[in-house]
Structure 1
Amino acid sequence: MRADRLVSLVLLLRQHGRLSATALAGELEVSTRTVLRDIEALSAAGVPVYAERGRHGGFALLPGFQTELTGLNHDETLALLVAGSRRGAHAFGLGPALASAMRKVVDALPESSRAGAAGAVRRLLIDPETDLLARWLVAEELPDTVVAEIRRAVFAGHRLRIRYAAVDRTPKWRTVDPIGLVTVREQGYLLATHSGEDRTYRLSRVLAAEELAEPAERPERVDLGRVWQERSTRFRTGGDQVAVLLRMDPARRAELVGTALAVLGEEAGEDGRLRLEVTFQDARHAEWALWQLAPSAEVLAPPWLRESLRRRAAAIAACYGEPSLSAVVAVPGPEQG
């Protein structure tokens, strides 16, 4: 760990020219005391790092230690740097490793390419944390030790014990044969088999993991794209799906189609509204999705879903039926005026 950090420290100084101990500590996610100890270790090892005093001072390196990376044209270099700005690596716990790799790549570029690539990549933004409506894209919190253990088992081809917390169930241990890892919209999944049956586990619900020495029972070669597609298809067509008949404003049809599993039937009504039959993953999915579309969509069937939405609407209406005490504005009396 310390050797990697020392390399990263040197690369940061090479790329930025001069950085304070506080800035280095922030980049390396360590304390300033650790940075100062690392600087001493580098100096003792003969690395020409020196301190500059003053308001704009910090630590810097003497010129040198340049290893050029050849064979990359401008577009290839830019593509690699853009890939490093994506947050997909977070789903597999590889964010720090990716940042370290990007520093090494940038440092190894020829001087003529480095400045141009760095300037160009600042003109591109991939997957910002919010959309145009300022809605935050929440990344899953994944313990590094758990994800690292899962990665090791996947790459080594070993069986894996995981303590998994399925939705609305008590967490329990199970032994699985890992096949691969998939990330979709910043959510990570472990594809595996359990007692010979296909299983897909959400990484954020794995509370603990232990790589076993026993070899995993899995094929030598795997097409993860095909496996994921097959499992996605089974997920959409099986389980506790709910079929819903509704009528809605055509202007919001795209929103409905974007969240429903499938559209089974559709026709235009005389009142200009659409009449559709769609399916959802389960009851909770159906109620959530159709509540987002209210009042532009009205459930016609099944009756239990219509009643559930009616109760929710009544509860909201009751909540806002009377002004709250905090909403009452006091009018100043004559003695205050």
Structure 2
Amino acid sequence: MRADRLVSLVLLLRRHGRLSATALARELEVSTRTVLRDIEALSAAGVPVYAERGRHGGFALLPGFQTELTGLNHEEALALLVAGSRRGAQAFGLGTALASAMRKVVDALPESYRATAVDAVERLLIDPDTDLLARRQAPDEVPDDVVAEVRRAVFAGHKLRIHYAAAGQEPRWRTVDPIGLVTVREQVYLLATRSGEDRTYRLSRVHAAEELAEPAQRPDRVDLDRAWQERSTRFRTGGDQVTALVRLHPARREDAVGTALAVLDESTDADGWLRLEVTFQDRRHAGWAMWRLATAAEVLEPQWLRAYLHERATAVAARYSDSSPNRWDRSVGPV
């Protein structure tokens, strides 16, 4: 681990010319004390790194220094393979490996176009944290040690113990046979079997994980895309799902379809509005999805959903029935 970090430190200095101990510590995700020890180790090994004092000082390499230490390790190669977006590597706990791998890739580029390639990358942004409406993405938070342990078990083909908290339940230990990891809209799922039955676990609900030495009971090959599609289909057709018949303005079709689990039927009325039969995960999901469409949609069935939307709209209308806002007393609220 330290040898790989020393290589990364050299490559950072080659790329940036001069960096402070604080900047190096941030890039390498270690303490400044560790950076200073690494600098001493590099100097002892004959790498010409020197310190520049002053406000804009830092560490740098002697001009013209070259190194061939650019080989990718297993984690870095894996990070590049899953790095269709940086978020993919982050989701599987490979963000640090991806950063290290990319430094080595840049360092291996011919000098003739290294600068132009780096400049081009700075002009591309993939999956920013917020969209144009400043809505912030909310990815699942999963501890690095949990992701690493699960990932090791998946790759090694070993059984896995997870301390898992299902929705609305206390966490308890389970032993599963891991099949693969899937990331969907900032959420990471473990596909596994337990006692021969398919199971899907949301990684953010795994409090702890332990790779076991016992081999997992699973096929040698897996079509992960097909497995995910099959599980998604079973999820959409089971549980406390709600089916609704809805009239919808065609301009809001994508919004409606994007929130529903499935569209069972679709036709067009004489006035150009769409008539959709859609399913939702449960009553709460149905109420939320229809409310956000406002007057661009009308629920025809079921009656309880119409009543819910009517009650909610009546409450909102009553709140705004007076054109002037209520006076507000900070100590007791509206008066």
TM-score, length basis structure 2? 0.86
Map residues 117-196 of structure 1 onto 2, 5 A cutoff: 117-196=117-196
Name whichever of 293-302 and 138-147 sits farther off: 293-302
Residue identity opposite 2:176 in structure 1: V
Residue of structure 2 equivalent to 1:325: 327
Equivalents in 2 of 1:244, 1:84: separation in Å?
Answer: 37
Are 2:103 and 1:66 aligned? no
Q: Secondary structure at the match of 2:3?
A: helix
Residue of structure 1 equivalent to 2:16: 16
Q: Secondary structure at the match of 1:120?
A: helix
Q: Secondary structure at the match of 2:292?
A: helix
Residue of structure 1 equivalent to 2:232: 232
Residue of structure 1 equivalent to 2:212: 212
Residue of structure 2 equivalent to 1:86: 86
- CA gap of 1:82–1:264, structure 2 versus 1, over 3 A, is closer
- CA gap of 1:245–1:188, structure 2 versus 1, over 3 A, is same
Equivalents in 2 of 1:6, 1:132: separation in Å?
Answer: 40
- CA gap of 1:118–1:150, structure 2 versus 1, over 3 A, is same
8 Å CA contact 1:66, 1:108 repeated in 2? no
Residue of structure 2 equivalent to 1:291: 291
Are 2:290 and 1:253 aligned? no
Residue identity opposite 1:16 in structure 2: H
- CA gap of 1:33–1:152, structure 2 versus 1, over 3 A, is same
8 Å CA contact 2:42, 2:49 repeated in 1? yes
- CA gap of 1:18–1:69, structure 2 versus 1, over 3 A, is closer
Where in structure 1 do 4 or more consecutive aligned residues deviate above 6 Å? none
Equivalents in 2 of 1:183, 1:327: separation in Å?
Answer: 47
Residue of structure 1 equivalent to 2:116: 116
Deviation at 1:313, TM superposition (A): 3.3
Q: Percent identity?
A: 76
Equivalents in 1 of 2:17, 2:50: separation in Å?
Answer: 11
8 Å CA contact 2:140, 2:186 repeated in 1? yes
Residue identity opposite 1:236 in structure 2: R
Give CA-to-partner distance per residue, 1:49-95, whole Å, 9 cap, x none.
1011233221101232333989xxxxxxxxx7994762111111111
Equivalents in 2 of 1:274, 1:168: separation in Å?
Answer: 37
Give CA-to-partner distance per residue, 1:273-312, whole Å, 9 cap, x none.
3332211122222122112112322222212222333343
8 Å CA contact 1:17, 1:60 repeated in 2? yes
Residue identity opposite 1:5 in structure 2: R
Deviation at 1:108, TM superposition (A): 2.2
Equivalents in 2 of 1:6, 1:311: separation in Å?
Answer: 64
CA RMSD of aligned residues (A): 2.6
Deviation at 1:105, TM superposition (A): 1.6
8 Å CA contact 1:21, 1:35 repeated in 2? yes
**How many residues in Structure 1 have an aligned counterpart in Structure 2?**
319
Equivalents in 2 of 1:200, 1:93: separation in Å?
Answer: 19
8 Å CA contact 2:83, 2:89 repeated in 1? no
Structure 1: tracts of 5 or more residues without a match:
71-79, 329-337
